[in-house]
Amino acid sequence: MPFRIAVDASNLAADRRGMGRYVRHVLATWERDPELEVTLLDRATARAAKDGGFDAVWYPWNGIRFAAGARKAVTIYDAFAFTQPHRNLVARWREQAPIRRAAREADAFATISQWSAGEISRELGIDRDAIAIAPAVPDAFWEPVPPDGRDPFVLVVGGPEERKNAPMLRAAFAAAFPRGEVALIDTADAKPTDGELRALYANALAVAVPSYAEGYGLPAVEAMACGAPVLASDAAGLPEACDGAAMLLPPHDVDAWANALREMRDDPTSRGRLRARSLVRVQRIDRDAPARVTLALLRRSP
């Protein structure tokens, strides 16, 4: 008899960023296991979680948004809804309420880094030892591709959130290259497809991840899988994600970032050393870990 898992898939189609990548990777891994039967539920079919005969329900979107009659495991990626709450009261409540509900009702918890586990434990009062760690991993799609001969550029992987620290990186870039001899490509502006992003990772002088608060930092690891030299902040979950392979820099030190950017342009040996470290770091990754850890939480007896 297969182990029957229901999955909250309400954001699966819309979320193309870190959470969506994480969830799709877990589901793809489970799909290869003949002993599992996975059912995706959305808002219209969520009622089935109460009486659908499932053995367990996985809530992978930072909280519980519908009731279930089976064991409940929740993946909470970070505590930013509390440490950096939305300024709008209604939006803040919408972000926090499902997470608070998870803290009250879930049978098991997972997150993506030791750093996030500490934050979640402090903000929600969940026993730190009760939070399993299931780091994000890059899909096999992320791999080195041949250089395409484009002009030199630095790629910054960010987003609209203040914690992504884009203004600092732009200031450092302007100080490093005042004559515009190197281009800056920001994924928040360019909105590349995955195929375009892989080519950017593989061809960049460096990939910059300047966030001062990041639950893990999957884009840094995806960039490493493509052989990119990575510059990242020495803050939050990024040191765990980079695992000794990136050049880590203080997130608010414009001069340090400017110097590192110039080094990536001027020193091919330094750049090559980081490329090599990226590829070695990716070889250490257990790509089945997120699915395996989550499944263990779902299988555990209440």
- CB-based burial of residue 284 (10 Å sphere; 0-12 exposed, 13-18 middle, 19+ buried)? exposed
| Residue 167: predicted pLDDT | 94
| Residue 114: predicted pLDDT | 97
Query: Which residues contact residue 57 at a Cβ distance below 8 angstroms, ignoring those fewer than 6 apart?
Result: 5, 6, 7, 8, 49, 68, 70, 71, 72, 73
Indicate if 126 and 61 belong to the same structural domain.
Answer: yes
Cα–Cα distance, 234 to 217 (Å, whole number) = 12
| Residue 117: predicted pLDDT | 98
Residue 146 falls inside a structural domain: no
Indicate if 133 and 58 belong to the same structural domain.
Answer: yes
Indicate if 17 and 49 belong to the same structural domain.
Answer: yes
Residue 144 falls inside a structural domain: no
CATH number at residue 263: 3.40.50.2000
Q: How many Å from the N-terminal Cα to the C-terminal Cα in the chain?
A: 20
Positive/negative CA dihedral, 165, 255, 265, 221 = negative
Indicate if 279 and 290 belong to the same structural domain.
Answer: no
Domain that holds residue 132: 3-137+286-299
Q: How many domains does the chain have?
A: 2
Indicate if 160 and 77 belong to the same structural domain.
Answer: no
Indicate if 195 and 257 belong to the same structural domain.
Answer: yes
Indicate if 260 and 191 belong to the same structural domain.
Answer: yes
Residues of the chain with pLDDT under 50: none
Residue 147 falls inside a structural domain: no
| Residue 16: predicted pLDDT | 80
| Residue 15: predicted pLDDT | 85
| Residue 106: predicted pLDDT | 97
Indicate if 238 and 184 belong to the same structural domain.
Answer: yes
Tokens of 285: 């990754």
Indicate if 37 and 53 belong to the same structural domain.
Answer: yes
Indicate if 190 and 272 belong to the same structural domain.
Answer: yes
Indicate if 115 and 168 belong to the same structural domain.
Answer: no
Residue 181 falls inside a structural domain: yes
Residue 145 falls inside a structural domain: no
| Residue 301: predicted pLDDT | 59
Does an H or E element contain 116, and which?
helix 114-124
